[in-house]
Amino acid sequence: MSAGQLVVVVGPSGVGKDTLIAALADACPDVVVARRVITRAAGAVGEDHDAVSEALFDARLALGQYAVHWAAHGLRYAIPASIDTELLAGRMVVFNGSRRALPAIRARYPEAQILMITAAPEVLAARLRARGRESAREIAARLKRVGTDLPDGAVLIRNDGTVDAALEQMLRALNLSAQSA
Ligand SMILES: Nc1ncnc2c1ncn2[C@@H]1O[C@H](COP(=O)(O)OP(=O)(O)O)[C@@H](O)[C@H]1O
Ligand SMILES: O=P(O)(O)OC[C@H]1O[C@H](OP(=O)(O)OP(=O)(O)O)[C@H](O)[C@@H]1O
C-alpha cells in the first residue's frame, strides 16, 4: 500500500527504545521519527512528545488524527496519522510502540518491521532509576510489565552493552548503513 517502510521499536520500559531511536536518527538523517502524542506532562525526561490533556487526546481521536493509539502506565499514546504521508513519500518512519498494541499496529500496517529491544532485568531497573522520570512505585509497576516473549516476526536487538553496539544491530536488521558517524 505504501512505498516507505514502517519500523516499530518495542520493549520493556527502560530498555533504551527512545535512546536507540535517537541514535538511529542521528546515524541516518533520512529516517523520520514519529512524534508521539501522550497524555504526559510536557518537559518530562526523554523523548520530545506532543503533550496533550485527556480531552484533547479524545478530540483528536474523534477527528481521525491518529494512525494508531493505545493506553499503558495510566497514560494514553498515539502516533499521528501524518506518518502515512511520509510512508507514501517513500520514507522510513520509526516510532516507539507498545508490545500490547502490536495487533492493532499490524492490522493497519501489515508490512511493519518490529524491532524488540531487550536487556537483563537488573539493567532495566538501574536505567529506570537513573533516568529518574518515574517514582519508585511507578518503576516497580513498569518492571512488572517486562515480559520476555518475542513478538511474531520481530527482530531481537540486545541493548545490554553500548548504544553503538545496539545501533549496529538495528542498522543490520534494517539493511541500512550509517550516513554520518
Ligand atoms: N546502552 C545503554 N547504555 C547505558 N545507558 C543506556 C543505554 N541505553 C539506554 N540507556 C539509558 O537508560 C535509560 C532508559 O532509556 P530510554 O531510551 O528512556 O528507554 P525506554 O524508551 O525504552 O524507556 C536512559 O537514561 C538512557 O540514557
Ligand atoms: O505494551 P508495552 O510494550 O509494555 O508498552 C507500553 C508503553 O510503555 C512504553 O511507554 P513509555 O514511553 O511511557 O515508557 P518507557 O519510555 O519507559 O518505555 C512504550 O513506549 C509503550 O507506549
Q: Which residue has the cell 542521528?
A: 26
Joined together, the cell numbers standing for residue 179 give: 550516513
Q: Is residue 79 part of a domain?
A: yes
Q: Is residue 178 part of a domain?
A: no
Q: Is residue 169 part of a domain?
A: yes
Per-residue pLDDT tens over the stretch 16-34? 999 999 999 999 999 999 9
How many domains are contained in the chain?
Answer: 1
**What is the distance in A from the centroid of ligand 2 to the CA of 73?**
8
Q: What pLDDT shows up at residue 2?
A: 59
36: containing domain = 5-173
Count of CA atoms in the C-beta half-sphere (13 A) of 29: 3
CB atoms within 10 A of CB 148: 8
- Atom of ligand 1 at shortest distance to CA of 22? 17
Q: Is residue 137 part of a domain?
A: yes
CB atoms within 10 A of CB 111: 11
**What is the distance in A from the centroid of ligand 2 to the CA of 103?**
15
Q: Are 49 and 37 in contact (CB under 8 A)?
A: yes
* CA–CA distance, 71 with 57 (Å, rounded to integer): 11
Joined together, the cell numbers standing for residue 175 give: 539493511
The residue whose CB lies within 8 Å of the most ligand 1 atoms, and thus the one to mutate among 19, 131, 142, is 19
- Rounded to the nearest 10 degrees, how much is the dihedral formed by the CA atoms of 152, 158, 160, 164? -140
Q: Is 18 helix (H, G, I), strand (E, B) or coil?
A: helix
Q: Is residue 66 part of a domain?
A: yes
Q: Is residue 110 part of a domain?
A: yes
Q: Is residue 62 part of a domain?
A: yes
Q: What pLDDT shows up at residue 123?
A: 92
Q: Is residue 102 part of a domain?
A: yes
Per-residue pLDDT tens over the stretch 96-141? 999 999 999 999 999 999 999 999 989 999 999 999 999 999 999 9
Alpha carbon distances (Å) from 53 to 41, 43, 154, 156: 9, 14, 33, 34
Joined together, the cell numbers standing for residue 86 give: 511520509
Among positive and negative, which fits the CA dihedral 174, 147, 37, 164?
negative
Q: Within 6 Å (CB) of ligand 1, which residues are found?
A: 11, 13-19, 46, 127, 130-131, 159, 162-163, 166
* CA–CA distance, 53 with 130 (Å, rounded to integer): 27
**What is the distance in A from the centroid of ligand 1 to the CA of 177?**
22
ipTM rounded to 2 decimals: 0.95
**What is the distance in A from the centroid of ligand 1 to the CA of 9?**
13
